[in-house]
Amino acid sequence: MNAPSNLSNLRHSFDVPRLLEDARTAAGGLSDFGDASFRPALEVLCQSLIEEARLSDTGAYILRLKLLGHLTNRLRIEDYFARHPEIAQENVAAPLVIVGLPRTGTTKLHRLLSRDPRFYWMAFWESQFPVPFPNETLQQPSARIAEAHAMVDMMTTAMPKLMAIHPMAAEEADEEVMLMEHSLLSAFNAYADVPSYMRWLDAHDQAPAYQYLRRMLQFLQWQKRQRGIVAERWVLKAPHHLLRMDILLRVFPGVQVIQTHRDPVQSIPSIASFIHTLWAIYSDQADAVSAGRSWSETMQRALQHTMQVRRQAPAQFLDVRFKDTVKQPLDVVRRIYQFIGWPLAPAAESTMKAWLLEDEKSHRGGHDYGPEQFGLSAEQIRRDFAAYRDRHIEETMSAA
């Protein structure tokens, strides 16, 4: 439990009316936060952060800044839409979306495909700073890019093993779930242990999060046009969609999905290690067993959900093995292009080859973990993920 003084500080930090007022002040007096569905989610999240997350003073400070940033961005985004009604006319074509358990090659595949200029993609700096700074022009976002570089340097210096778990780069493609956080209907359990918030989230409609994602993609796409960037469709990537695949397909009609596969016996302990590493940034009492068990259970439900959805729309999915992404990535790319009906342009293939060579040089060290560290076992993982392994692991292994 938090000490009484810390609990008082937490209640002060995550007081919702105060957060909203501070956001209005930070946004220069703007008052329109947009769709109101974020408000009950914010209330439940803040209560969970106060009562369950066991945040350190530093962790509470950082997470408050994150929430304040999201709320301030909402105000500024609505202001941009009001002043530039053409943003709402941006056509977001059916995206190509990469999904799969974390640690199954999704990041490598995402960044590889982002080499093709026919794809729109979101860089890390755009995920953290989607709204232009006051001292920037729309054509030159150099201040935001510089701020993102400083953020990456700070994070990797404070937590060196982060780079071995998830390679971070300010100007590389990253997960749109960081945009979805602005809806306050998102996977905040990546940062802290917030079980009551996650139960509440599971019980409520998350379509507003995807509708807000579409709105933010319109905003980013409009900004890209101001910089002379015009593409055909977005390539997105987030494991988050596995538990919400029905909503993804409904909000983005015609979406095509690449699902990556790796035996959960390997990937689940790796996910647990990653989450525990993140929790430790915000809490001095981060519980490895809680991280492992809660995320293993969530990922099991996520894969089960996507398997059910796939039965209704099998033609919208393409399966990719982790082993193939690692060992023969360009063969995987050619399969993807055949799936989406695009020719692979020689210039794009050449750029991809060059990136693969550089990517190999950037790998930093190993990522050591075992299931027992996180209250898991190989036998338990095989049992919990039996249906998924029978469908996607044993089947693909026997076809190899």
What is the chain's mean pLDDT, rounded?
Answer: 93
Q: What is the pLDDT of residues 168-218, one digit of tens each?
A: 899 999 999 999 999 999 999 999 999 999 999 999 999 999 999 999 999
Give the pLDDT mean for 22-44: 98
**What's the rounded Cα separation, in Å, for the pair 56 and 280?**
9
Cα–Cα nearest to 299, from 275, 316, 280: 275
Q: Going by DSSP bridges, is the β-strand pair 119-120/96-99 parallel, antiparallel, or unpaired?
A: unpaired
pLDDT per position as a tens digit, 85-135: 999 999 999 999 999 998 899 999 999 999 999 999 999 999 999 999 988
Q: Are 183 and 209 in contact (CB under 8 A)?
A: yes
Name the one residue in this structure whose structure tokens are 């510089």.
146
| CA distance readout (Å), 192 to 128, 183, 221 | 19, 18, 31
Instruction: Please state the rounded mean pLDDT for residues 68-88.
Output: 98
Among left, alpha and beta (phi > 0; psi -120 to 50; other), residue 260 is beta
Decide if pLDDT at 400 tops 50.
no
The CA dihedral of 308, 309, 312, 313, to the nearest 10 degrees, is -140
Judge residue 215's burial from the number of C-beta atoms within 10 Å of its C-beta, 0-12 exposed, 13-18 middle, 19 or more buried.
Answer: buried
Cα–Cα dist 366/381, whole Å: 22
Q: Kindly report the number of other CB atoms within 10 A of residue 150's CB atom.
A: 11
Return d(Cα 64, Cα 58) in angstroms, integer: 10
Backbone angles phi, psi at 106, to 5 degrees: -65, -40
Q: Under DSSP, is residue 166 helix (H, G, I), strand (E, B) or coil?
A: coil
**Would you place residue 398 in the very low, low, confident or very high pLDDT band (cuts 50, 70, 90)?**
very low
| Distance, CA of 95 to CA of 236 (rounded, Å) | 7
pLDDT digits (tens, 9 = 90+) for 333-345: 999 999 999 999 9
CB atoms within 10 A of CB 354: 11
Angle between helices 38-51 and 16-26 (to 10 degrees): 120
- Could you read off the pLDDT of 267-281 as tens digits, one per residue? 999 999 999 989 999
The pLDDT assigned to 4 comes to 42
Q: How confident is the model at residue 370 (pLDDT cuts 50, 70, 90)?
A: confident
Strand partners, 99: 259
User: CA-CA distance, 254 to 96, in Å (whole number)?
Assistant: 9
Q: What is the pLDDT of residue 364?
A: 56
Other Cβ atoms within 10 Å of 266 Cβ, number: 15
Q: Kindly state the percentage of the chain with pLDDT values over 70.
A: 94
Name all domains of the chain by residue range, CATH numbers in brackets: 4-399 (3.40.50.300)
Q: And the tokens for 339?
A: 């799936």
Q: Which of 152-156, 171-175, 239-243 has the lowest mean pLDDT?
A: 152-156
Q: What is the pLDDT of residue 399?
A: 36
Q: Outline where DSSP puts E strands in the chain.
A: 96-99, 119-120, 233-237, 256-261, 317-321
The dihedral over CA atoms of 21, 26, 28, 33, expressed in degrees to the nearest 10, equals -60
| Joined tokens for residue 154 | 């700070």
Most confident residue range from 7-11, 25-29, 103-107, 157-161: 25-29
Q: Determine the pLDDT at residue 168.
A: 86
Q: What CA–CA distance (Å, rounded) separates 65 from 128?
A: 12
Spatial separation of the C-alpha atoms in residues 298 and 287, rounded to whole Å:
17
| Residue with tokens 């101001």, as numbered in its chain | 226
Tens of pLDDT, residue by residue over 210-239, are 999 999 999 999 999 999 999 999 999 999
Q: Is the dihedral of CA 266, 186, 56, 1 positive or negative?
A: negative
Tell me the whole-structure pTM to 2 decimals: 0.94
Q: What's the pLDDT at 361?
A: 76
pLDDT of residue 155: 82
Residues in the chain: 400
Q: How confident is the model at residue 162 (pLDDT cuts 50, 70, 90)?
A: low
4 vs 384, residue with greater confidence = 384
How many angstroms separate the Cα of 9 from the Cα of each of 20, 40, 238, 272? 17, 22, 33, 29
